[in-house]
Structure 1
Amino acid sequence: MAREVAFPPANVHHHSPPRSLNYSTTVLSTSAASDSQVMEVGRILQGAKWQYRLVNPLTHGVHISRVFKAEMLPGRERRIPAKWALIKTASPDNTDTMKFPREELNAYNLSSVKSCTSFRALHDIIGDPEDRGEHAQEPPMLVLEWLDCTLSDVPSKHHLQNYPLFKAVIDAVLRSSVSLGKESLVNTDIKADNILLSAIDTDRPLAKVGDLGVLRQEGITYPVQPYAMRAPEVYQGVGCVQKSQIWALAATLICWIKPGVFGTAGNTIPLFHEGWSVSKLLRLFPDWDPPPIAHAVRRTQFAFGNHLVEHPVPEMSKILSLEEELQGMGIPAVLRDLFRYLLVVDPARRPSAAEVLASPEYQALQQAALASTSRGN
């Protein structure tokens, strides 16, 4: 079994607040008050580089961690890189989240992440990432690049012809995957909630990949990836490989366009999430003949999936073949061609991220985006 990647330790140190700053609002470091006191609207927090006035909490349903929008203010460094930032830390009400900020900080110390602009940028750190006296009880706060929304926040029905948006999203995920591949890492949590967007209604939308605390060593056989984005080889127990990210990208976009095509949506049988999801794959790809599965639990899941194909319940009967699903989505031919190219059940035949970037299918999308921009659409 492949081991999980051991990230290098963070190499950023805590600095005391600059004495020359004179703000009317009290400036706190994380050691100056309890978490409930620090994370209050209007409070100014001291980072290693800048200061941050908390504007409002973000209560998006997918946030497990505690997340705030903050105004960036001059600090030890006077010139701020942006007006807004996102501050992310562990939730005091959920001890399981205590490790997340440090894991994500470790990811940001990887050269494959630091060198790639397709990832959401880490601006600064609040607190001391090297302080391990209390371990997970005092995790650092991450100051991250602000983007307007996530892909899941955007109604797909208004953007089915938005070629620049599709191009931006696909480009960000592909280029981030190429970069991670240099260190034999995979992003196991590609999904609409983790694709961050700005300027979506312009001819140059910006897309970046966020939430990097779940990067893992390529080949990990633990059942990673969300159910709906999970590649066939992960369900089979073969492992999550570089090309599993290609599957996740395509599945993410299809589920954004038509929720429920992949994954557990519509499941009427409790506790059989994997088997239900496998059954959808077997219906989407009726010619797929999976090889024998060695792992007993995974083998049972596939047996259950096959049973649902042969004896479908009403909710499962709604899942058609991939070709029929694509034809019914109302998307342009250039996107249908690209999805067919990406969604190959055999990872040996599925293209890599670099191959997709050089493919005629992706170049056709680029041309469509360029033409759309030229027309002012």
Structure 2
Amino acid sequence: MALRIGQVLRGAAGKYELVEALKGCSVFKARVLSSRTPSSGGEWAMIKTATSDDEKMVLRREYRNYGIRDIASCAYIRRLRDVVAVPAAVDGEEEEEGGGKGGEGEEMMNTHDPDGLVFEWMDTDLRCVPASRFRGDARLPKGVSRAVLSALDVFRTLGLVHTDVSVNNVFVSDLDGASPVAKLGDLGNLIVQGSTTQRGQSLPCRAPEVWQGLGCRHSSDIWSLGVTLARRLSPHAHFGASDKIIEGHTEAWCIAKIIRRCGPIPDPPADQHNYYQPYREEFALAEQLAVMDNPHDGTRLIKGGTLREELLRLAEPPVSEELVDFIEALLVVDHGGRPVASEALRHAYLRSST
């Protein structure tokens, strides 16, 4: 049954009224009407459901991931507070609010395969924080970096990879408060490191080794954090294909932008060339695109210089050199040269108080 504003869903530990659609008809802001665990806190919650088979698969996977104690207890990962049942239509009519006719909502609850997940409320995702605001408040890039790296460190100890670190999946609350809070969420695409060579990650955040067909690993998440910081600091599309001005060749364009911003991408080791072979032509074209002139105006086809040059060019407010140094440490093209999360947390930029 399609969910609607004003509908009340019954969870294993509380009841929730849907008050605002956040994403289509599957993600909602909800008012907490009652809770059996008052310590869970907060008047609001976010409820995520699924409307397609693929979404249901991801939802189940995310729920299973929260069954891992180290994930569920991590202060830097968005907290799962409850699960809910979504009532189905009966005899062509919608069921009563609360989860079923005759108040039988609790009997419908399947805590092993829930219809929806209830998460703690976070005020916004990083995508909605203006670039000038993110640059102008030194607490934000530091807080986001510490939170995401701390979450990634947990995944690393478990042998897991998030695969989807981006401005859409980093959440922030209390932006105007004394201590803004940042957390990493959306764990439905977590994988075991080394379990697949499939090209995961979103196009803008995809790491060089993933483009090469070597699969996502912890270092790929580190790369994605670097891209996420750069994307939020600048209003310009330094990575990805949103500014593509040629027909087709989306993959080559994205790779070319990495080359333009961060430098040449070395071939993988000889024993991994079989994974790389299907993508050699993309990389050959990307190397040409990275230096090609635009025939219409004589400028480079891909505008701008290195990422350092582009970030330091920003003004009102500017980006500090210390922050750019930190981002460059994350965006090492050779994945073997990137720090692991625990090492990145000790970077001078994050240790400084200013």
TM-score (norm 2): 0.83
Distance in 2 (alpha carbons) for counterparts of 1:348 and 1:65: 42
Quote the residue 2:77 is aligned against: 119
CA-to-aligned-CA distance 1:262-296 (integer Å, 9 cap, x gap): 11121133442211111111112345544474433
Instruction: State the one-letter code of the partner of 2:245.
Output: T
User: Cα gap change, 1:159/1:40 in structure 2, threshold over 3 Å: closer, same or farther?
Assistant: same
What do the CA deviations read for 1:37-56 (whole angstroms, capped 9, x no partner)? xx222222211011112212
> Which residue does 1:55 correspond to in 2?
19
Structure 2 unmatched ranges of 5 or more: 86-108
- Counterpart residue number, 1:105: 63
Relative to structure 1, the CA distance from residue 55 to residue 233 in structure 2 (aligned partners, 3 Å threshold; closer, same or farther) is same
- Matched to 1:161, the amino acid is G
Percent of matched pairs sharing the same residue: 33
- Return 257-266 or 167-176, whichever deviates more: 257-266
Aligned partners of 1:150 and 1:192 also within 8 Å: yes
Asked if 1:248 is matched to 2:233, the reply is no
Query: 2:105 aligns to what?
Result: none
- Aligned positions of 1:280-319 closer than 5 A: 280-286=257-263, 288-291=265-268, 293-294=273-274, 295-313=276-294, 316-319=301-304
Q: Given the superposition, is the C-alpha separation of residues 299 and 64 from structure 1 closer, same or farther in structure 2, using an over 3 Å criterion? A: farther
Stretch of structure 1 that moved more, 226-235 or 74-83: 74-83
> In 1, Cα distance between the equivalents of 2:248 and 2:278?
13
Cα displacement string for residues 175-205 of structure 1 (whole angstroms, at most 9, x for unaligned residues): 0000011111011010001111111122300
* 1:170 corresponding residue in structure 2: 145
Q: How much does 1:227 deviate?
A: 1.1
Who is 1:153 aligned against? 128
Aligned equivalents of 2:220 and 2:24: distance in 1?
25
Ranges in structure 1 where 5+ consecutive residues have no aligned partner: 1-34, 133-138, 369-377
Contact 1:228 1:277 in 2 (8 A): yes
- CA gap 1:298/1:312 in 2 versus in 1, 3 angstroms: farther
Shift of 1:307: 2.0
Runs of 4 or more, structure 1, over 4 Å off, are 75-80, 129-132
Residue 109 of structure 1: CA displacement?
Answer: 1.0
- Give the secondary structure class of the aligned counterpart of 1:193: coil
Aligned 1:77-116 pairs, distance under 5 A: 77=37, 81-91=41-51, 94-116=52-74
Deviates more, 1:192-201 or 1:265-274: 265-274
Question: Residue 363 of structure 1 aligns with which residue?
Answer: 351
> Per-residue deviation at 1:245?
1.1
SS in 1 for 2:244: coil
Distance 1:309 1:56, change over 3 A: closer
| CA–CA distance in structure 1, aligned partners of residues 339 and 21 of structure 2 | 40
- What CA deviation, in whole Å up to 9, does each residue of 1:82-111 have, x standing for no partner? 1111111012xx443232221211111123
Equivalent pair of 1:267/1:315 in contact (CA under 8 Å): no
- Establish whether residue 327 from structure 1 lines up as the match of residue 312 from structure 2: yes
| Cα distance in 1 between the residues matched to 2:267 and 2:72 | 38
Q: Distance in 2 between matches of 1:198 and 1:285?
A: 32
Distance 1:148 1:280, change over 3 A: same
Q: Answer whether contact 1:164 1:203 (CA < 8 A) is retained.
A: no
Q: 1: CA distance between counterparts of 2:284 and 2:24?
A: 34
Residues 49 and 306 from structure 1, CA distance in 2 versus in 1: closer, same or farther, beyond 3 angstroms?
same
TM-score (norm 1): 0.79
Structure 1 residues 17-41: Cα deviation after superposition (integer angstroms, max 9, x where no partner): xxxxxxxxxxxxxxxxxx22xx222
1:103 maps to a residue whose letter is: R
Structure 2 Cα separation of the partners of residues 328 and 246 of structure 1: 24
* Change in 2 beyond 3 A, CA 1:317/1:100: closer
Q: Give RMSD over aligned pairs.
A: 2.1
1:315 positional shift: 6.9
- Separation of aligned partners in 1, 2:171 and 2:59: 18
Tell me the amino acid that sits aligned with residue 177 of structure 2: T
Q: How many pairs align?
A: 318
Q: 1:110 to 1:77 in 2, by over 3 A?
A: closer
- Indicate yes or no: 2:167 matched with 1:192: yes
Deviations 1:208-231 (A, max 9, x none): 111110001113311011111111
Q: Against the structure 1 CA distance between its residues 83 and 287, is the aligned structure 2 distance closer, same or farther, given a 3 Å change threshold? A: same
Q: Give the Cα–Cα distance (whole angstroms) in 1 for the partners of residues 56 and 181 of structure 2.
A: 30
Q: 2: distance between equivalents of 1:113 and 1:76?
A: 22
Residues 287-313 of structure 1, C-alpha deviations (whole Å, 9 max, x = no match): 554447443321111011012124344
